[in-house]
Structure 1
Amino acid sequence: METAERDGRMRYRLDGMEIEVFDGVYPPSEDTFLLMDSLKAYSASAALELCTGSGAVSVSLARRVRSIVATDVNPAAARNARHNLNANGCGTKAEVIVGDLFSPIAEGSRFDLIFMNPPYLPDDGTGCGDLAWEGGPDGRRVIDRFIKDVKRFLAPGGRAIFLQSTINGVSESIEALESQGMVAKVVGTSSFQFEGLVVIEASMGQHQKE
């Protein structure tokens, strides 16, 4: 990966992509790269990314999907994702929407791949943290809402892929998914000094994996 700063903005060159990061938007980081690597095994007709940030993961996947919708609650992130999708030649197959998780997605919409790199760090209790990475007192605020609603938007045979830290309770996520009748498993891991990152796949049954 190559990085450079131009006009006050960071630019990343990786896997044939050029990603620019706007002010106030979560930049591509180790968790981004782990999710990208895990998604290389998948293809889809219709994909949905929540918490898209700079849009880097959507750009990386766009070559293997027919259409992709990306959402983020941060308007700057949505503008950033739209910019990067267009700049990398993916704009015609992508739609970027400002909104909180599934809230801007029409009821009845179905996707055969839904993926997310959520804010997962526990906050410090001051309420002054950055929503791009802080996920509530235990880091599960966004993860739990995702697990609760994702089944409604999965097409038959679809898969949900999301990343979390080991400090957020991996078994808790898998048990919550299984309680809804889904099959869940870990499909990617990365370890650091004080925590690990885990990518979890959940599905209702048959799924297509390259």
Structure 2
Amino acid sequence: MQKKFLRDEEYSPSEDTFFISDYIEKEKGLSALDVGSGSGYLTKLLSENFTFVVGTDINFSVLKNQTYPTQNLVCCNGSDALNLEFDLVVCNLPYLATDEVLDAATDGGIDGFEIPKKIFDSVQKNIKIGGKFLFVTTSLSNYQKLMDY
């Protein structure tokens, strides 16, 4: 079986996306970052209350064809290409525990921790002092390991 890391289709907004959106609708500030922008839903929502918003995704095809198109999109792994700090960083993490990563949009690797750990490491430099990092995970993965990290 061939490994498939990137799909040409975006990760469509779903329950976990709407869970994050309930929180970020109340947030306001100068700058926000959406890591793993996918459809652009959260990036678009952030742009309503933040002056400057950036969305990143590892898949260029997905960024190019977003359902909710936005500006300031960067194709990169996590936020590796960014040298900016943000008031709010959000990420709908790929958190499903899988032996191998077949879908970069949903598979988190061993314990659902491998990919989220890489994203955490990547965004750490992008959170302003006093800023917030908001992410979603699940009890189906080893979320305690993620929280302890």
TM-score between both structures, scaled by the size of structure 1: 0.62
How far is the alpha carbon of 1:124 from its aligned partner?
Answer: 4.6
| Runs (5+) with no aligned partner, structure 1 | 1-21, 86-90, 177-210
Is 1:114 aligned to 2:99, yes or no?
no
Letter in 1 for 2:93: P
Greater CA drift, 60-69 or 133-142: 133-142
Q: Partner residue of 1:53?
A: 38
Q: Which amino acid aligns with 1:115?
A: V
Paired with 2:72 and 2:43, the residues of 1 have a C-alpha distance of 10
Q: Which residue of 2 aligns with 1:153?
A: 126
Compared CA separation, residues 25 and 149, structure 1 to 2 (3 A): closer
Pick from 21, 27, 34: which aligns with 2:19?
A: 34
Q: Taking structure 1 as reference, are residues 113 and 96 closer, same or farther at Cα in structure 2, changes over 3 Å only?
A: same
Give me the whole-angstrom Cα distance separating, in 2, the residues matched to 1:35 and 1:166. 16
Counterpart pick for 2:64 among 79, 92, 103: 79
Q: Secondary structure at the match of 1:71?
A: strand
What TM-score, normalized by structure 2, do the two folds share? 0.85
Matched, 1:143 2:116: yes
How far is 1:156 from its partner?
1.9
SS in 2 for 1:135: strand
* Whole-angstrom CA distance in 2 between matches of 1:163 and 1:172: 14
In the TM superposition, what are the counterparts of 1:80-95 in structure 2 within 5 Å?
80-81=65-66, 84-85=68-69, 91=70, 94-95=71-72
Structural RMSD (CA): 2.0
Q: Percent identity?
A: 27
- Aligned pair count reads 143
Structure-1 residue corresponding to 2:49 = 64
> Unaligned regions of 5+ residues in structure 2, if any?
1-6
* Map of 1:101 onto structure 2: 78
Q: Deviations over 1:10-32 (max 9, x none)?
A: xxxxxxxxxxxx95211111111
